[in-house]
Structure 1
Amino acid sequence: MIGVLLLVGILVAMFVGFNVGGSTTGPAFGPAVGADALSKSSAAALMTAFFFVGAWTLGRRVVDTLGRELVYDPSIFTLEASIGVLFFIGLALFVGNVFGVPASTSMTAVGAIAGLGFARNELNWAVMGEIATWWIVAPVIGFWVSLIIGRYFYARLHRIIAMERSDGALVELDRSGAVPVPTPEESTNRKELFGVVTVIAIGCLMAFSSGTSNIANAIAPLVGSDVIEMNPAILLGCLAVGIGAFTIARRTLETMGSDITELPLTAAIVVATVSATLVIFLSAIGIPASFVVIATMSIVGLGWGRATRPVSVPDVVRGEEDVPVSVGGLAADEDRDEVPAIGEEEPEDIPSAGDLFDPGTTARVILMQNLVPLVGTVGAFLTFRYVPIFGF
């Protein structure tokens, strides 16, 4: 009987890992894919590799602590309870992926574990309160930082970076030596190449951060119940994440990279930098990072900032308010001499939020990102409190 339950537990854990790959690849590499810096397959490969590195190094620490700090008595993670927790995590994430919305893996996992702890009166409310507080504060910080950048600094950043994509490949292989060496194409702009490398590197950093925290969401209940060793569990979880990244993540990549807003490379770098910085900060203080929500709110904040008045700080200091206005909002700014002063624009020349991101898609994303963890939390609580098989 234990063998059958263990097999079921492993399959459910891999189902969770599959959905982790589907829900976290979009926030990590959506900006790069939306900016045409990566193909979806390349994004999936990088996600798998760097997720594994993060899981194998720092991830094992999170696996050790997730099932001990959030509940007072870790013994509540019986094999049956672990399967139940993993089931609700996987089910909730699967719902988000079906709708093409990258749901928060950490919020969903913590919610399901909290449902178990609450049902057994073992939930550590102090730890839960601290986690929940940061989940509210961090996306707000991401939104406002991105909004300020979009409103006051984006135009100057874009002029400095100037990374409009050229046609054709960025690099070619120089096969003149013994080992082929990638070199920039003659038509490749050096700043463009730098921007592409930067946004991909930030995506890899986010994938690494995802591995350090999200591997625990898939395997911590099983490892905590002592039914499977740490290393085999990490390998199984990463394999499942890779499968999800190459399959169901294609929809979340489209949502994060193009459906919410068309991101040029400058905007992609801003969003990824703000999101990655906040994720690293949260990980450093031991908070499960909800970088899905942070990345989404950063995109919305940047788009909203560009939809208002794109004034740069140096322009305000000098009193020069003849700033570029572009219906493309996040696109390159036009020459300053061709733009009317504030108050003299025609109404049709002023960009609205709808020109920069789709409000309908944004509302769907935010709704699902809050609904999916709620489904996992409520479902876990009701099951562990009232279903007799769990002995409650």
Structure 2
Amino acid sequence: MVELLLLGGILVALFVGFNIGGSTTGPAFGPAVGADAISKTGAAALMAVFFFVGAWTIGRRVVAKLGSELITDPGVFTIETSIVVLFFIGGALFVGNYFGVPASTSMTAVGSIAGLGVATDQLSWVVMGEIAVWWIVAPVVGFWVSGMVGRYLYPSINEWVAIDSTPGPLVEMDRSGALPLPRTGSNTTRRELFGAVVVVVIGCLMAFSSGTSNIANAIAPLVGAGVDLNMMILLGCVAVAVGAFTIARRTLDTLGNDITELPLTAAIIVAIVASVIVISLSVIGIPASFVIIATTSIVGLGWGRATRTATLSGGVKGEEEANVTVGALAADEPGEPAPKMGEEEPDDIPSAADLFDPTTTARVILMQNAVPVLSTVGSYVTFAVLFQFFW
């Protein structure tokens, strides 16, 4: 009976890991796939490798935080309770996916575990408070860092990293020898190749940061119940890899073909800011939400660019100065350097409505908070009301 329960718990954990691989591969490598810098298969392979590296190294600290420190008495974690906790993690994330909103896996997992802790009076409020404080601070930091980049540095960065696409593939396979070897495409420029490498490296950084934080969401309850940590990391990473090679292909299609709404330069900036914050928090054992940090970084980047002061030229009397809002993220197409501050043309300046959709933003914020609340409340009610009847 115990073996069957353990097997059931591992299968549920693998299902969570499978969904993590499917949902995080697209944001990490979508820009690279969209720029034809890497294939979907190559993106999945890099996702699997760098997720594993992040999970095997820094990810252990987050597993320890959720599996042994968030609950004062680790004995509360049994195979049965772990299955229930993982069920609410997966179920709540499914609700977010159903409504088309990328919810926070970390917040959902912590909420489910916290529900168990509150119901059994074993929640460490000190650890919970530490995690909650960083959940507030991290998105604010992401917003302001990205905002300052958007306000003062974006045009220069965009001009530096812009990729001018040329006909044909970036990389071709040379099959003239005994073994096929990759070589630069016949029309590929050095600048284009450099930009492609940068995009792929950023994707690897995002995959690594995902591994440092997200592995705990799939395996921490079972590790807290006494299942071997190393074995669960390996199994969890295999599940993530399967998700990356299968269901992630659809998200790679979506994100890879919808780059114009988030230009390559903006995607790189957001990825770097969010990844550095997530990795930094993982080092101190804090499970961070890449989705929410990246979302606030995107908003901050757009806000920073929208609040720049522009000098408009025109009129019969020469130049006329005015303060205007400058551009949505979509104002700059990949490969086209942005105008420097003060050099924008009136026709190139989108309205504020192009930058900020209150209805969509409200729906995203609502669901990103509702999904973790759903897992927390569901877990608490289950363990507080029904626990005594089953265990």
How far, CA to CA, are the matches of 1:248 and 1:364 in structure 2? 25
Q: Find out whether 1:329 has 2:328 as its counterpart.
A: no
The aligned counterpart of 2:229 is 230
The aligned counterpart of 2:289 is 290
Q: Secondary structure at the match of 1:387?
A: helix
Deviation at 1:373, TM superposition (A): 1.2
The answer on whether the counterparts of 1:22 and 1:102 sit within 8 Å (CA) in structure 2 is no
How far, CA to CA, are the matches of 1:250 and 1:357 in structure 2? 29
Distance 1:41 1:355, change over 3 A: farther
The aligned counterpart of 1:350 is 349
Distance 1:70 1:334, change over 3 A: closer
Distance 1:171 1:36, change over 3 A: closer
Matches within 5 A, 1:156-195: 156-175=156-175, 180-195=180-195
The aligned counterpart of 1:14 is 14
Deviation at 1:70, TM superposition (A): 0.7
Q: Which amino acid aligns with 2:332?
A: L
The answer on whether the counterparts of 1:170 and 1:184 sit within 8 Å (CA) in structure 2 is yes
The answer on whether the counterparts of 2:70 and 2:124 sit within 8 Å (CA) in structure 1 is yes
How far, CA to CA, are the matches of 2:209 and 2:258 in structure 1? 25
How far, CA to CA, are the matches of 1:380 and 1:118 in structure 2? 10
How far, CA to CA, are the matches of 1:123 and 1:337 in structure 2? 51
Q: Secondary structure at the match of 1:87?
A: helix
Q: Secondary structure at the match of 1:173?
A: strand
Q: Deviations over 1:23-68 (max 9, x none)?
A: 3223323443455544544433322222122223333443334221
Distance 1:337 1:285, change over 3 A: closer
Q: Calculate the TM-score normalised by the size of structure 1.
A: 0.84
In the alignment, structure 2 segments of 5+ residues that lack a partner are: 312-320
Deviation at 1:267, TM superposition (A): 1.8
The aligned counterpart of 1:315 is none
How far, CA to CA, are the matches of 1:149 and 1:352 in structure 2? 20
Q: Find out whether 1:241 has 2:243 as its counterpart.
A: no
Deviation at 1:221, TM superposition (A): 1.4
How far, CA to CA, are the matches of 1:244 and 1:288 in structure 2? 21
Q: Secondary structure at the match of 2:172?
A: strand
Query: Bigger CA drift: 210-219 or 166-175?
Result: 166-175
The aligned counterpart of 2:79 is 79
Q: Find out whether 1:143 has 2:151 as its counterpart.
A: no
How far, CA to CA, are the matches of 2:16 and 2:224 in structure 1? 16
Q: Secondary structure at the match of 1:183?
A: strand
In the alignment, structure 1 segments of 5+ residues that lack a partner are: 313-319
Deviation at 1:85, TM superposition (A): 0.7
Distance 1:258 1:127, change over 3 A: farther
How far, CA to CA, are the matches of 2:260 and 2:127 in structure 1? 36
How far, CA to CA, are the matches of 1:326 and 1:29 in structure 2? 25
How far, CA to CA, are the matches of 2:364 and 2:191 in structure 1? 33
Deviation at 1:178, TM superposition (A): 5.7
The answer on whether the counterparts of 2:310 and 2:342 sit within 8 Å (CA) in structure 1 is no
How far, CA to CA, are the matches of 1:104 and 1:156 in structure 2? 32
Aligned length: 379
Q: Which amino acid aligns with 2:236?
A: G
Q: Secondary structure at the match of 1:182?
A: strand
The aligned counterpart of 1:372 is 371
How far, CA to CA, are the matches of 1:337 and 1:274 in structure 2? 22
Matches within 5 A, 1:33-72: 33=33, 35=35, 37-72=37-72
Q: Find out whether 1:274 has 2:277 as its counterpart.
A: no
How far, CA to CA, are the matches of 1:366 and 1:260 in structure 2? 22
Distance 1:367 1:251, change over 3 A: farther
How far, CA to CA, are the matches of 1:56 and 1:235 in structure 2? 8
How far, CA to CA, are the matches of 1:376 and 1:23 in structure 2? 18
Deviation at 1:382, TM superposition (A): 0.8
Tell me the percent identity. Answer: 66
Distance 1:189 1:322, change over 3 A: farther
How far, CA to CA, are the matches of 2:93 and 2:213 in structure 1? 16
User: Aligned-pair RMSD on alpha carbons?
Assistant: 3.3
